[in-house]
Amino acid sequence: MKILQVNDLKVCFETGTGPVRVVDGVGFEIEKNKCFGLVGESGSGKTMTALSVLKLIPEGGSIGSGSILFNGTDLVRCDEKIMRSLRGSKISIVFQDPSSALNPVFTIGYQVAEAILAHRNIGKARAGEIALEYLKKVHIPDPVKIFHDYPHQLSGGTKQRIGIAMALVNSPELLILDEPTTALDVTIQARILDLLEEIKEKEKLSMLFISHDFGIIARMCDEVGVMCKGKMVERGTKDAIIRSPKNDYTISLLGSVKAFA
């Protein structure tokens, strides 16, 4: 069973010098309960592909053509009301910058509870309890204290754990992770990857995992799509791509990762 089927996706931006196509005919599929990795250098169109799935492309950009089937429903044709009901519930995203999901003026507990209340008809007290459960689930040290803290009091790694908790609170079917460890110190990166691996094993969800780092993609993903200049230049199982890459760009990406050299 496939949870997501992206076909011939094109994303354009209007610029002063005319339209620029930043995603150019991308297609891939994600099997239920599997992790699909998008890998490629900075600017290759990974984030725009992810934002297309949520229909959150920034001002000036738009989906020019293609379809994005989520459980068989074409999101490209869904209106904003339906998209709002899906975002943060059935489909959620963790961004690279751990601060971007957090509002500086509210406590962590309040914000995680609000993420729950946005999609569920339950009382505030119950939402608070669930929020605390999720802070524990992502192994936040001293979760009761952190519940009452504000974002600026926390480290980048803790903030990213909260970003992950907020993405999980409504039991998404598809979790998108856009360079979730890139902004963190190397030692913290490793611990966040441990957490994401645990989530992949324990939770029943499918993942779209984005990274410029083939080492991380190789660790996390079952299938991989390699992006270069807006196009998906190669796609296959992780093992097949590592063992016998067909595309020159893929070969150069693999060559830059010591483990495969």
Find out whether 4 and 174 touch, Cβ atoms under 8 Å.
yes
For CA atoms 152, 128, 173, 84, the dihedral sign is: negative
Q: Where are the alpha helices (DSSP H) in the chain?
A: 46-54, 80-86, 108-117, 124-137, 143-147, 156-168, 186-202, 214-220, 238-243, 248-255
By C-beta, is 59 or 201 nearer to ligand ADP?
59
Site for ligand ADP in 59-78 (CB under 6 A): 60-61
Is 17 a residue that touches ligand ADP (CB under 6 A)? no
Strand order in the sheet with 18-31: 18-31, 2-15, 61-70, 73-74
Residue 30's CB: how many other CB atoms inside 10 A?
22
Q: Which stretch binds ligand ADP (CB under 6 A): 54-62, 82-90, 108-116, 241-249?
A: 54-62
Is 181 a residue that touches ligand ADP (CB under 6 A)? no
167 interface partner picked from Mg ion, ligand ADP, none, CB below 5 to 8 A per type: none
**How far is CA 187 from its chain centroid?**
21
Amino acid at 150: Y
Q: Which stretch binds Mg ion (CB under 5 A): 41-49, 77-85, 102-110, 166-174?
A: 41-49
**Residue 62 DSSP class:** E
Is 52 a residue that touches Mg ion (CB under 5 A)? no
Q: Which stretch binds ligand ADP (CB under 6 A): 53-61, 68-76, 144-152, 182-190?
A: 53-61
Is 47 a residue that touches Mg ion (CB under 5 A)? yes
Q: Which stretch binds ligand ADP (CB under 6 A): 36-44, 73-81, 121-129, 137-145?
A: 36-44
Find out whether 95 and 106 touch, Cβ atoms under 8 Å.
no
**61-70 and 174-178 beta bridge pairing:** unpaired
Q: How many residues in the shown chain lie near ligand ADP by CB under 6 A?
A: 13
Among 5, 10, 13, 156, binds ligand ADP (CB under 6 A): 13
Find out whether 3 and 71 touch, Cβ atoms under 8 Å.
yes
- The distance in angstroms from the start CA to the end CA of the chain is 34
Is 58 a residue that touches ligand ADP (CB under 6 A)? yes
Is 170 a residue that touches Mg ion (CB under 5 A)? no
Among 46, 137, 200, 238, binds ligand ADP (CB under 6 A): 46
Is 42 a residue that touches ligand ADP (CB under 6 A)? yes
Amino acid at 8: D
By C-beta, is 127 or 210 nearer to ligand ADP?
210
Q: Which residues bind ligand ADP (CB under 6 A)?
A: 13, 22, 40, 42-48, 58, 60-61
Q: Which residues bind Mg ion (CB under 5 A)?
A: 46-47
